[in-house]
Amino acid sequence: MARLSVGLMLVLASCWTASSSGAAISLEDKLEQLTNNYNEMKQELTSKIGQLEAQIQGRAHPTSPVYFYAQRSAPFSTKAVKLPFDTPLLNAGNALDATSGTFTAPRAGIYSFSFTGMANFPETTGVYVWLSASLFLNGNVVGSGEVDEANTVADQWSPLFLQVTLSLAAGDQVWLEIDYDTAGIVLHDDADHYTHFNGWMLDE
């Protein structure tokens, strides 16, 4: 009876040892698997963060910036023709042809344009007089700015403004025109430069 008890105890001990060893191996395998999964996720996350940082950096500092700023130094009053600029001050990317006043998008993206001018009115009594300038995209009006007055005095000046943000394709053309005015009104300018046209790429 004593020998049977001892043998049973040895068998139970052997089973417990095998079970414990199996449990230990299983935990080690699971720990290794979790560690591998963690490392893979960490590597993937690090890669995505790097890609996002590169995109943000690229948008903040485009490799080929596009922007311009141009002025005029003489009056202009011709309607329905492109408004030219004789004083280009900035033209990164060479997208503005100042002589014709035409901006050609070098590549697709979001662009912003701003125009400021000064209307010079003659003396009038009891009637409204006005000057309107519009921004054209490939021949179509996409935005206008207008100034109107009544009972003006000779050489009265009033400003007009225009600002437009556009999604452009490569090769799209943008320009300004005086499209409506009253006889005798001109877009004033001289050596002090009252006419300003600028634009820049915001995103691509």
* Model confidence pLDDT, tens digit, residues 58-80: 666 657 999 999 999 999 999 99
- Whether residue 12 is predicted with pLDDT greater than 50 in this model: the reply is no
Residue 35: pLDDT above 50? yes
Higher pLDDT, 177 or 22: 177
Q: What is the pLDDT of residue 55?
A: 73
pTM value is 0.70
**End-to-end Cα separation, the chain, in angstroms:** 90
Q: Where are the domains of the chain?
A: 1-61, 67-203
Per-residue pLDDT for 8 more than 70? no
Average pLDDT, the chain: 87
Instruction: Tell me the longest C-alpha to C-alpha distance in the chain.
Output: 133
pLDDT at 13: 47
Region of 151 on the Ramachandran plot (φ > 0 left; ψ -120 to 50 alpha; else beta): left
Which position has the token pair 């035409």?
Answer: 102
Tell me how far apart the alpha carbons of residues 196 and 161 are, in angstroms, rounded to a whole number. Answer: 10
Q: Which CATH architecture has domain 67-203?
A: Sandwich (2.60)
Evaluate if residue 144 carries a pLDDT over 70: yes
Question: What average pLDDT score do residues 44-57 get?
Answer: 82
Burial class (CB in 10 A: 0-12, 13-18, 19+), 83: buried
